Amino acid sequence: MGAIVATLMDVSKPYTAICPTLDSEVLAVLAGTTRPLTGREVARLTGRTSHRGVAEVLSRLVEHGLVERQEAGRALLFTLNREHLAAPAVEALAGMRAELLRRIRGLVGAWKTAAVHVSIFGSTARGDGGTQSDIDVFVVRPDVVSEDDPRWRKQLDDLAENIERWTGNRASIAEAAEGEIERLLREDRPIVAELRSDAIGISGADIPTLLGSK
């Protein structure tokens, strides 16, 4: 039997793992709001410079009934038809990043040795990056727990293994002891600026409390 090859997830657009076309990007935009959007607004929110391709996708989705179109003066407005049979699947795909955070929170919340702080930072937190991006996790260990403590190490290993299993992407865990935070701040390490700018808290102390206000 050959080795199992994991498919990496695009951390900026995780839904493209299932539907790697413009359709998924359009649907993700519409699933993210209940406000009717013009075709140009949809194109802008997908980051596409070509309105034509988005217009074609919207027209096709309207034909299938998954998207509703209404006239508003000279403009056409589009919304996701949440009563459509496929709507729950669309919303699940659009919510994959939120689901990843929910799973990580659940796993970390069950740790027998609680961390002082856990957060996601980097491209996953910002919503950019791509299929080669790591899932960056910052973990602060209590000073009373040794770095080599078997239970602690197993928790971190399990977290890394589960993240890779859930996404296909490698988990990059940056670990520091609680007493090392002051040194990180004093040395003005790059990770401190990253955490302050885009970290998403998972558990424990929040970033302003942990790092102090700048």
Q: What is the pTM of this model?
A: 0.75
pLDDT at 4: 41
Average pLDDT in the 10-25 region? 64
Read off the CATH number of the domain in which 181 is found.
3.30.460.10
205 shares a domain with 111: yes
Domain containing 101: what range? 96-211
What's the mean pLDDT in 108-127?
Answer: 93
Are residues 89 and 36 part of one domain?
yes
User: Residue 201 pairs with which residues in a beta bridge?
Assistant: 119
* Among candidate residues 93, 115, 142, the one where a domain is terminated: 93
Number of domains forming the structure of the chain? 2
- Give yes or no: residues 115 and 147 share one domain: yes
Q: Which of 73, 93, 113 is the last residue of a domain?
A: 93
Q: Is residue 1 part of a domain?
A: no
Q: What is the rounded CA–CA span in Å between residue 9 and residue 99?
A: 13
pLDDT of residue 11: 54
Residues 88 and 107 in one domain: no
Indicate whether 192 belongs to any domain: yes
Q: What would the mean pLDDT of 81-91 be, rounded to a whole number?
A: 92
Of 67-81, 93-107, 116-130, which gets the smallest average pLDDT? 116-130
How high is the pLDDT of residue 9? Answer: 57
Residue 146 forms part of a structural domain: yes
- The confidence score (pLDDT) of residue 48 equals 72
Domain annotation covers residue 196:
yes
186 and 102 both lie in a single domain: yes
Three-state DSSP state, 76: strand
The verdict on residue 7 lying in a domain is: no
Statement: residue 6 has pLDDT above 80: no
Q: What is the predicted pLDDT for the residue at 98?
A: 87
pLDDT over 90, % of the chain: 64
Residue 1 has what pLDDT?
Answer: 42
Looking at 40, 72, 93, the residue that finishes a domain is 93
| Phi, psi of 186, rounded to the nearest 5 degrees | -65, -40
The whole-number average pLDDT for the span 144-152 is 96
Between CA 157 and CA 65 the distance in angstroms is 45
Domain with residue 62: its CATH number is: 1.10.10.10
Give 130's pLDDT tier (boundaries 50, 70, 90): low
Asked which of 9-13, 78-82, 102-106 is least confident by mean pLDDT, the reply is: 9-13
Give the highest mean pLDDT range of 23-27, 47-51, 57-61, 210-214. 57-61
Cβ–Cβ contacts within 10 Å for residue 78, how many?
24
Mean pLDDT (whole number) for 165-191: 93
Are residues 194 and 125 located together in one domain of the fold? yes
Q: Are residues 138 and 75 in the same domain?
A: no
Q: What would the mean pLDDT of 184-194 be, rounded to a whole number?
A: 92
In terms of domains, do 130 and 72 share one?
Answer: no
Residues 107, 89 within the same domain: no
Q: 172 with 70, same domain?
A: no
* 162 in any annotated domain: yes
Instruction: Answer yes or no: do 86 and 184 share one domain.
Output: no
**Positive or negative CA dihedral for 92, 97, 99, 100?**
positive
- Identify whether residues 104 and 89 lie together within a single domain: no
- Tell me whether residue 133 is in a domain: yes
The answer to the question of residue 46 being in a domain is yes
Q: What is the pLDDT of residues 177-188, one digit of tens each?
A: 999 999 999 998
Asked if the model's pLDDT at residue 196 lies above 50, the reply is yes
